[in-house]
Amino acid sequence: MTFDVSGYSLLPVIPELVLAIGAMALLMLGAFRGEQTTPMVTGIAVILLVVTGLLELFWLPAGKLTTFGGSFVVDDYARFLKVLALIGSGVTLILSRRFLEEQAKIFEYAILVLLSTVGMMVLISAADLIMLYLGLELMSLALYVVAASHRDNTKSTEAGLKYFVLGALSSGMLLYGASLIYGFTGTVSFAGIATEAKTGSIGILFGIVFLLAGLCFKVSAVPFHMWTPDVYEGAPTPVTAFFASAPKVAALAVFTRVALTAFPGVVSEWRQIVVFVSIASMALGSFAAIGQRNIKRLMAYSSIGHMGFALVGLAAGTEQGAQGVLIYIAIYVAMTLGTFSVILAMKRNGQAVETISDFAGLSRTNPLLAFVFAMLLFSLAGVPPLAGFFGKFYVFLAAIQSGLFALAVIGVLTSVVGAFYYLSIVKVMYFDEPAGAVEPMGVELRTVLTVAGVFNLLFFVYPGPLVSAASVAAKSLF
């Protein structure tokens, strides 16, 4: 079956078109029927995400597909990360059900998540600088609005404004870098840039610096992390869960694709940038979180640290490094969504609680919830044999194989420091006096927490499917 328009095949973009057209249809439904359609719109949005994932995996032909003059590519790498981004978006909408019913009856929320996900999918498949920017802006513009979606909450509005202002700055830096690279290579395609940039001229190096700076903002890497703690704290908790999962997948995906496919001839030059950013992110994520009392701010610094660990794999610049990045981001998404399902479950007298002291004595009031949360925290800290340990193992192994011994050692040391603040939450849950019973968990929170908890606990029993899928995806980049 062929879908051709103006000489270009639309077959590779069918999943994106289904999602975009579905979002437009839901927008019309919500506009005509009003706020009472919020539960229906959210439910249909989740179904759309599932259908899109199935199309991506089982309907599109196997192998590498390209369209729009090679600027949009669907390969095993794109498939792996698109499915991961769709899972992150879908689970976030499931986690948002109670918030949308009780606090903010806004049907636009699910539609914005869908449109942002379309941007993520375009970003993951981008094979030139123009498609990269289109995907990035489509993803980001929806995120700015989602951050401020709780209109009656001052913190939410402030979070959206901060994110928008700093996002505009990062887009400017990325565009300046892209224009320099185009000016010195004469092409915007990653394959063409790879051919022209075999020797790093000063202009191309400046372009790489600005381009990677813009991408660092999207993954919350130091020194472009400033927005993360404030936006995570100010945005509604389901929105924070979304920010911490799906957009990170897309941003890290394009970061890795750009570095490895557009600049394979100047690895030693961009590696210096990635190593610095990685070390700075791991260090700040580990030390700055120690003094935090708000669980969402703590998760913001945790996210910064984890992006630093993921970039250790990219710094290797090898197929094993790319595989490590893919395994790490998949495990990170599972850990993060599980953790946020616990944070969303922490309600007393109808009010959400967000300070770490509110978890006091949880082991006595809800032992099972406390146990699963503790396991997720241990996994985030990288304690064996939980899934988080294996994520770090693969990226550190890739770094060692590439001779980056100092980077791997610093990674291990910052992991030890980071374990302190995760363990401090466990200490509060198990050794402090109870702060009061929490409300029963909704079925959607319980389901997400169960799946995330089982994945983290039992990953070591059967890691094969994820590791082999990541290996196949990484091979398609080289």
Whole-number pLDDT of residue 154: 79
Lowest-confidence range among 23-27, 33-37, 355-359?
A: 33-37
Say if residues 344 and 296 touch (Cβ distance below 8 Å).
no
Phi and psi for 66 in degrees, rounded to 5? -135, 155
**Residue 166, pLDDT score:** 86
Average pLDDT over every residue of 138-147:
88
For position 275, what pLDDT does the model report? 93
Nearest to 12 by CA among 88, 64, 51, 89: 64
Q: Which residue has the higher pLDDT, 31 or 304?
A: 304
Mean pLDDT (whole number) for 336-365: 83
Return the C-alpha torsion angle 247, 249, 251, 256, nearest 10.
180
Pick from 74, 70, 62: nearest CA to 8: 70
**Which amino acid does the sequence have at 421?**
Y
Q: What is the DSSP letter of 61?
A: P
DSSP state of 150: -
Q: Which two tokens stand for residue 38?
A: 């919020």
Residues 228 and 212: their CA atoms lie apart, in Å, by 18
Please give the average per-residue pLDDT across 239-250, as a whole number. Answer: 90
pLDDT tens track for 413-455: 999 998 888 899 899 888 888 877 777 778 888 888 899 989 9
CA angle at 83 for the pair 82 and 84, rounded to the nearest 5°: 90
> Quick one: pLDDT at residue 256?
92
Residue 191 contacts residue 238 (beta carbons within 8 Å): no
Give residue 5's pLDDT: 59
pLDDT band at 6, cuts 50/70/90? Answer: low
**470 CB burial (10 A radius; 0-12, 13-18, 19+):** buried
Q: Which two tokens stand for residue 226?
A: 């400033």
Q: What's the confidence (pLDDT) of residue 105?
A: 73
Q: How far apart are CA 267 and CA 197, in angstroms?
A: 11
Identify which of 306, 455, 320 has the alpha carbon closest to the alpha carbon of residue 382: 306
Q: What is the pLDDT of residue 350?
A: 67
Question: How far apart are the C-alpha atoms of 325 and 399, rounded to whole Å?
Answer: 11
pLDDT of the residue at 81 = 93
Residue 478 burial by CB count (10 A; 0-12/13-18/19+): exposed, middle or buried? exposed
Dump pLDDT digits (tens) for 273-292: 999 999 999 999 989 888 88
Looking at residue 104, its pLDDT comes to 66
Instruction: Please compute the mean of the pLDDT values over residues 142-154 and round it to a whole number.
Output: 80
Do 215 and 251 touch, CB atoms closer than 8 A? Answer: yes
Do you know the residue count of the chain?
Answer: 478
**Average pLDDT estimate for 357-377:** 87
**Three-state DSSP class for 24?**
helix
pLDDT (0 to 100) of residue 7: 54
Looking up tokens 């009856």 gives 105
> Is 67 in contact with 19 (CB distance < 8 Å)?
no
The reported pLDDT for the residue numbered 236 is 83
Q: Domain limits at 228?
A: 4-475
Domain count, the chain: 1
Q: 0.85 cut: is pTM over it?
A: yes
